[in-house]
Amino acid sequence: MGKLIKEDGETGRLHIDTPLMGESLVSKALLKTTEANEYFRMHPDVNVLKIGGQSIMDRGGQALFPILEALIKAKDAYKILLMTGGGTRARHVYNIGVDLGMPTGVLSKLGDKVSWQNAEMLSVLLAKHGGVKIGHGDNLEQLTMFCRLGYIPITYGIPPYGFFEHPAEHGSIPPHRTDSGAFLLAENIGARSLIFLKDERGLFEKDPKKVPEAERDQLEYYSRISARELLELDLDDLIIERPILKLLQRAKCLKEFQIIDAIRHPEHIEAALKGEHVGTIITKD
């Protein structure tokens, strides 16, 4: 804690004496001293649900409407924040941008527009049930208030890095897309849970859609796995964005998240909100 100290009697100025004064903020030893015993959680009762763009939104009403019915049913018992993915249209604009040689930060700005469109569509579909689209600004502090008033707040998943997006480890596609945005927001508001709504029951060693149907039953399925174990496996493909695994290892509030199949089993949404294990759980430790 800093403390106020008075300068000489001539000026009477007050100065703040703080242990961080004069530090460069890069010393590992210093940074370790800033660890809190317990982190404040702004919205500890809010559950962040990320709706896949390609896996759900792009499939239209046949896939989306049963999921919306499950969310409407659950909203009175659970505080919910919906976050939207980009999907096929984002991939299309990424493809054009890559062909034009656009840098990663520009691609990030292009992709966020599609996630925003999906949030807009959800807010329209859920309007009569309290669906309200919010941005990444001041409204995020009001999530609990929205939920208590019967609203379903909806926002887009792309984190607002824009031109400040991190360089990609491979290629130029922005590494922090809508899955990462959902994780970062859930972590920083101290959310109760983070649930990814996908079209598979969780994590497999390979993408089941890219494997012949006759071989799918032989794929290894991971019901529960730690971020460290998953990083060590170094799988070529994942059902969630890879940066999340390192973020989870450094998380202060989130200890795990779950990936569920909301297409075939929309009832799993309420089960996951209850804390039941119905998909793949990826843990911090």
- Which residue, 227, 224, 225, is CA-closest to 246? 227
CATH topology of domain 39-283: Carbamate kinase (3.40.1160)
Residue 133: strand pairing partners? 154
Q: What pLDDT, on the 0 to 100 scale, is given for residue 26?
A: 87
Tell me if 124 sits within 8 A of 116, measured CB to CB.
no
Q: What pLDDT, on the 0 to 100 scale, is given for residue 204?
A: 96
Q: What pLDDT, on the 0 to 100 scale, is given for residue 9?
A: 57
Q: What pLDDT, on the 0 to 100 scale, is given for residue 27?
A: 86
Which tokens is 133 given? 């689209």
Q: What pLDDT, on the 0 to 100 scale, is given for residue 12?
A: 61
Contacts of residues 275-281 at CB distance under 8 Å and 24 or more positions apart, as own/partner, are 275/193, 277/223, 277/224, 279/201, 279/202, 280/201, 280/202, 280/203, 280/221, 280/222, 280/223, 280/224, 280/225, 280/239, 281/223, 281/224, 281/225, 281/256, 281/257
Q: What pLDDT, on the 0 to 100 scale, is given for residue 87?
A: 92
Q: What pLDDT, on the 0 to 100 scale, is given for residue 103?
A: 96
- Which residue, 156, 193, 198, 226, is CA-closest to 59? 198
In the chain, domain spans: 1-35, 39-283
Q: What pLDDT, on the 0 to 100 scale, is given for residue 139?
A: 87
Q: What pLDDT, on the 0 to 100 scale, is given for residue 138?
A: 73
Q: What is the reported pTM? A: 0.93
Measured CA distances, 101 to 91, 161, 166 (Å)? 15, 19, 17
Q: What pLDDT, on the 0 to 100 scale, is given for residue 23?
A: 74
Q: What pLDDT, on the 0 to 100 scale, is given for residue 223?
A: 98
Q: What pLDDT, on the 0 to 100 scale, is given for residue 186?
A: 98
Residue that the structure tokens 């009477």 belong to: 12
Angle among Cα 53, 234, 114 to the nearest 5 degrees reads 15
Give, for all 285 residues of the chain, the pLDDT tens digit.
555 555 555 556 666 777 777 677 888 888 888 899 999 999 999 999 999 999 999 999 999 999 999 999 999 999 999 999 999 999 999 999 999 999 999 999 999 999 999 999 999 999 999 999 999 887 899 999 999 999 999 999 999 999 999 999 999 999 999 999 999 999 999 999 999 999 999 999 999 999 988 888 899 999 999 999 999 999 999 999 999 999 999 999 999 999 999 999 999 999 999 999 999 999 998
